[in-house]
A and B are shown apart, each in its own frame.
Chain A
Amino acid sequence: MNPVAHLGRAVIAALAFVGRLSIFAGTTVLNLVRPPFYLREFWIAVLHIGYFSLPVVGLTAIFTGGALALQIYAGGARFSAEAVVPQIVAIGMVRELGPVLVGLMIAARVTSSVAAEIATMRVTEQIDALVTLSTDPMKYLTLPRVLAATLVMPILVGVGDIVGIFGGFVVGTETLGFNAATYVKNTVDFLEPFDIISSLTKGAVFGFIAALMGCFYGMNSGRGAQGVGQATKTSVVAAAVLILAANFILTQAFFAI
């Protein structure tokens, strides 16, 4: 095939994909103001995405915070700056690692399960059944999950930030010989409200991306077990890449403020 034609097809396919995804996201957002609303589905999604994700978020954050403290101490020791461990752990967790790691864990845990669930519903005609029962799948399945993820992710990120800082605190005081009161004081004094705002904003955006990708690939799943597997895999990869890309864009935007 002509390489130019090949390139052209790839570009058209990519643009068509972006168009489909944009329409999907736009429809989801517009459904926020178009009843009916399925509150029960929303609360179930809050429980599954928020509450049940707490253990994995906590574990990820505490180990990351602890490791971060050790790395900063080791790095800082090269130029006699070991004392900055509390401050760097705090800012590293709140501005970067907390939102990104929680976002990636949610992509792994929630995006995959949402994509697999909805793709299975697609394959087994449950989505068609919803339509015949006068229920819009976008309102019944997509909106509750996307809204729940967008609202609970800042809370999860907040928890992740606190637990991560606590991980650094434990390592700092138990292993590195920091005074507990001084460690807490340095952490609190160093953090600014804007750090926390940027962290939680990232969380909301990452939550939206994670749930949207799960729903999008689930709704557009191919047939059979292979279709479900493909939808699940692609949704997680897409969510992870988009979260990292969005993180860069948001960080750059916050940096400019």
Chain B
Amino acid sequence: MIELADLYKSFGSNDVLRGVDLFVPKGQSMVVIGGSGTGKSVLLKSVLGLVTPDAGTIKVDGTNILEQPRDAFLARFGMLFQGGALFDSMPVWQNVAFRLMRGELKRPKAEAREIAIEKLRRVGLGPDVADRLPAELSGGMQKRVSLARAIAANPEIIFFDEPTTGLDPIMSGVINDLIREIVTEMGATAITITHDMTSVRAIADRVAMLHRGKVRWEGAIGELDDCGDPYVDQFIHGRPTGPIETLR
């Protein structure tokens, strides 16, 4: 389980996180929604240690990870980045097997390649893709490769940052289904941040809405439509008018 308590983060005079409290039960898929600039990415990056919070605690299975060596807990994480973040200097299979070719999880090259091809197959890509460079793939294929990399070391916790941004609706549906299947099949705890309500409904067990650096509402996916919160209601229906200020 992941527990964020009273998390604060500012960049200069810009207060991005203003006391975030969030609890993600083990094996659950939490989707964090919210407008641009509400601190969703900073939230994920804080958990990963890419951003150091100004105050608050982040506990994973009861341990405050801000006080622990980062490498130890990162070994339990997988991350799908918004733009894929594939290493363009190496072929696809080496991207997928990156963690399996160095560090504590290092395996023989042939075995790492075999696992990479298996993970590629899991996300619907054939072995012919393995030796291609990321730049030779379409956006949807790059997202799948990134997903394969995220799950290559069978992580207990997986983060998805805007997994369907920039994809067509059909490919978005494919990625959403893959994420849901993989999270269920691996029993992983997942946090996804997205604006895409189709993704929310496909991926989430629970939903949290971030607004102005705080969790505005949190609950089960089944409660989302009738939650009664005007902010959530405006966001999920994409209404230009309502309590959330919009620039026009």
Q: Which of A113-165 contact B (CB under 8 A)?
A: 121, 124-126, 128-129, 131-135
* B98 neighbours in A (Cβ, 8 Å): 133, 135
Given B71, B79, B104, which contacts A129 in the complex, CB threshold below 8 Å? B79
The reply on A52 being an interface residue by CB < 8 A is: no
- Which chain B residue shows the least CB distance to A132? B79
With known contacts A36-B103, A135-B103, A129–B74 Cβ distance under 8 A: no
The reply on A38 being an interface residue by CB < 8 A is: yes
Interface string of B73-105 (1 = CB under 8 A from A): 011011101110111100000000011001110
Say whether A125 contacts B102, CB under 8 Å.
Answer: no
* B83 neighbours in A (Cβ, 8 Å): 124-125
Given A38, A121, A131, A134, which contacts B50 in the complex, CB threshold below 8 Å? A131
Say whether A134 contacts B99, CB under 8 Å.
Answer: yes
* A126 neighbours in B (Cβ, 8 Å): 85-88
* A133 neighbours in B (Cβ, 8 Å): 74, 98-99, 149
With known contacts A36-B102, A36-B103, A38-B102, A131–B48 Cβ distance under 8 A: yes
Q: How far is the CA of A112 from the CA of B99 in the complex (A)?
A: 29
**Interface residues contributed by chain B, number (CB under 8 Å):** 24
* A128 neighbours in B (Cβ, 8 Å): 45, 48, 50, 81, 85
Min distance, Cβ B44 to any Cβ of chain A, angstroms: 10
Interface string of B55-76 (1 = CB under 8 A from A): 0000000000000001100110
Say whether B74 contacts A132, CB under 8 Å.
Answer: yes
Q: How far is the CA of A124 from the CA of B85 in the complex (A)?
A: 6
* A121 neighbours in B (Cβ, 8 Å): 87
The reply on B49 being an interface residue by CB < 8 A is: yes
Min distance, Cβ B104 to any Cβ of chain A, angstroms: 8
Min distance, Cβ B83 to any Cβ of chain A, angstroms: 6
Residue picked from A38, A121, A125, most chain B C-beta under 10 Å? A125
Say whether A125 contacts B75, CB under 8 Å.
Answer: no
Given A36, A124, A132, which contacts B48 in the complex, CB threshold below 8 Å? A132
Given A125, A131, A135, which contacts B49 in the complex, CB threshold below 8 Å? A131
Q: How far is the CA of A139 from the CA of B50 in the complex (A)?
A: 16
* B77 neighbours in A (Cβ, 8 Å): 132
Q: Which of B101-132 contact A (CB under 8 A)?
A: 102-104
- Which chain B residue shows the least CB distance to A120? B88
Say whether B99 contacts A125, CB under 8 Å.
Answer: no
With known contacts A125-B85, A129-B81, A135–B50 Cβ distance under 8 A: no
Min distance, Cβ A184 to any Cβ of chain B, angstroms: 45
Say whether B74 contacts A131, CB under 8 Å.
Answer: yes
Min distance, Cβ B35 to any Cβ of chain A, angstroms: 20
* B85 neighbours in A (Cβ, 8 Å): 124-126, 128-129
Min distance, Cβ B45 to any Cβ of chain A, angstroms: 7
Q: How far is the CA of A138 from the CA of B224 in the complex (A)?
A: 43
Min distance, Cβ B196 to any Cβ of chain A, angstroms: 19
With known contacts A124-B85, A128-B45, A129-B87, A134–B79 Cβ distance under 8 A: no
- Which chain B residue shows the least CB distance to A131? B50
- Which chain B residue shows the least CB distance to A38? B102
Q: How far is the CA of A64 from the CA of B70 in the complex (A)?
A: 51
Min distance, Cβ A131 to any Cβ of chain B, angstroms: 6
* A36 neighbours in B (Cβ, 8 Å): 102-103
Q: How far is the CA of A246 from the CA of B75 in the complex (A)?
A: 42
Q: How far is the CA of A166 from the CA of B198 in the complex (A)?
A: 70
Q: Please give the residue numbers on chain A whose beta carbons come within 8 Å of chain B beta carbons, in ascending order.
A: 36, 38, 121, 124-126, 128-129, 131-135
26 contacts between A and B (CB under 8 A): A36-B103, A121-B87, A124-B85, A125-B82, A125-B83, A125-B85, A126-B85, A128-B45, A128-B81, A129-B79, A129-B85, A129-B86, A129-B87, A131-B48, A131-B49, A131-B50, A131-B70, A131-B74, A132-B50, A132-B77, A132-B78, A133-B74, A133-B99, A134-B74, A134-B99, A135-B102
Closest 4 CB pairs of A and B: A129-B85, A125-B85, A132-B79, A134-B74
> 12 extra interchain contacts, Cβ-Cβ under 8 A, other than A126-B86, A134-B99?
A121-B87, A126-B85, A126-B87, A128-B81, A129-B81, A129-B86, A129-B87, A131-B49, A131-B70, A132-B48, A133-B149, A134-B74
